[in-house]
Structure 1
Amino acid sequence: MSTERVRPLSELPEAVIFDMDGLMLDSERASVRCWSRAAAEVGLRIEDAYWLRMVGHSTAACQQVLRERMDDARIAELMDRCNVLYDAEVEAGLPLRPGIVELLQWLQAQGIPRGVATSTRRPRAPHKLETAGLLPYFHSVTAGNDVAHPKPAPDIYLLAAQRIGVAPARCLALEDSPAGVRAALDAGMTVIQVPDLVAPDAAQRALGHRIVGSLLDVRALLAARVASTA
């Protein structure tokens, strides 16, 4: 998606807060693959589209989705097996999303602070970033179990802004999922969505935030803002 079709940024953010899975790490495909494999191993036949409903949500929210199809004992069995498969994918190395390193290096050169707000819990969240080689780029990592209310509640973005020392209204949030977009908007941040597996529907687009094709487009929008004030 060309940045020409997206309205320019009205100001340069004082900090940028990143989601992790599906935005920086190409992990949502691995997640769907692990859910599907785990289900087959415990004797369940469930279509791949069902697992897309987990994208961007907390463990508790995923459990609610699973309760539509199975009881708590089967959920525990499925999640335990999925976690084993997913941890193996993490250790093998999750691919990076296009443009993430270029964007982080550009922000670092500009002296713009960077934080993470991810539904993934500790200790997995920082470990995934470390394994991917991205952890050194960030001033703080706010994980799903750092707050009482997960996305789409704004809590995790409010805490991420507090930890980085910048008012939410002065932060840019980068997200891929509908739940994350809602959380960041309700926190009062400027939001740019970079969709991955779940395309924004009409209701999502009606929220009025910017939607671009890749993190390279995000860098272009930020660079254009810098150039306009030079």
Structure 2
Amino acid sequence: MQHLIERFDLPFNVDTGLKRALTLEKTFMQDGVELKPGARVLLQFLHRNHYSVALASSSIKSRALDILTSHDVAQYFDQFTFGPDVDRGKPYPDIFLMACAKLQQQPADCLVLEDSEAGIQAATSAKIPVICVPDMKRPNQPYADQATAIVPSLTDVITYLKSVR
């Protein structure tokens, strides 16, 4: 929240910002959160092709699992790591390194899918290749340069994976 306030010169303090964010989140959660387009297709592809899949989310466990369960996709994940599981959130690499450890994989043998600049930075710091699938905005050039690839949708990740196999 502090970063957002500073970056966008917002006219409120951290406590007020967090209260506003929680109020907005409750509204969104009541209305339901849609899966990112192509998520189910990608998860099914990964499952069929015996990829290990971990979720490394800055979210809290209950929120993330509620969303995944409501869309019947939680079973496609082998491991979960959530924001409160690590001391430092993105852009620090901790969450991705913990996810790799849970999968018993070396970071260089993994791949991160991210939509944020902080996530790209975290993956890069963890020495994990990262594909950016932009959500609301394309990353600024310094972050885009750190990505292995930038693709328009999650289904494009399948094409990427087939090309490097």
Letter matched to residue 10 of structure 2? R
Of the candidates 86, 104, 125, which is equivalent to residue 186 of structure 1?
125
Contact 2:56 2:96 in 1 (8 A): yes
* Map of 1:104 onto structure 2: 43
C-alpha distance 165-65 of structure 1, shift in aligned 2 (>3 A)? same
Residues 100-145 of structure 1 show CA distances to partners (whole Å, capped at 9, x for unaligned) of 1111001100111100111112332222222233211111111111
SS of structure 2 residue aligned to 1:123:
helix
Moved more, 108-117 or 207-216: 207-216
1:220 and 2:163 matched: no
Q: TM-score, normalised by structure 1?
A: 0.64
* Map of 1:159 onto structure 2: 98
C-alpha distance 82-178 of structure 1, shift in aligned 2 (>3 A)? closer
* Map of 1:141 onto structure 2: 80
Q: For 1:42-57, what aligned pairs fall within 5 Å after superposition?
A: none
Of the candidates 102, 110, 121, which is equivalent to residue 171 of structure 1?
110
SS of structure 2 residue aligned to 1:104:
helix
1:130 and 2:74 matched: no
Number of equivalences? 163
Q: Structure 2 CA distance, aligned partners of 1:181 and 1:202?
A: 12
Shift of residue 208, structure 1, vs aligned partner: 5.1
Q: For 1:49-88, what aligned pairs fall within 5 Å after superposition?
A: 62-66=1-5, 68-70=9-11, 72=13, 75-88=14-27
Residues 35-86 of structure 1 show CA distances to partners (whole Å, capped at 9, x for unaligned) of xxxxxxxxxxxxxxxxxxxxxxxxxxx23433653454xx434433432332
The list of structure 1 runs, each at least 4 consecutive aligned residues, that deviate by more than 6 angstroms after superposition, is none
Query: Which is greater in Rg?
Result: 1
Q: Structure 2 CA distance, aligned partners of 1:204 and 1:85?
A: 28
Residues 169-227 of structure 1 show CA distances to partners (whole Å, capped at 9, x for unaligned) of 1101100111101101111111111111121222223325211111111011112334x
C-alpha distance 129-206 of structure 1, shift in aligned 2 (>3 A)? same
Once the two structures are aligned, what percentage of the paired residues are identical? 34
Q: TM-score, normalised by structure 2?
A: 0.87
**Structure 1 runs not aligned, ≥5 long:** 1-61
Q: Structure 1 CA distance, aligned partners of 2:24 and 2:10?
A: 21
Q: Structure 2 CA distance, aligned partners of 1:119 and 1:211?
A: 21
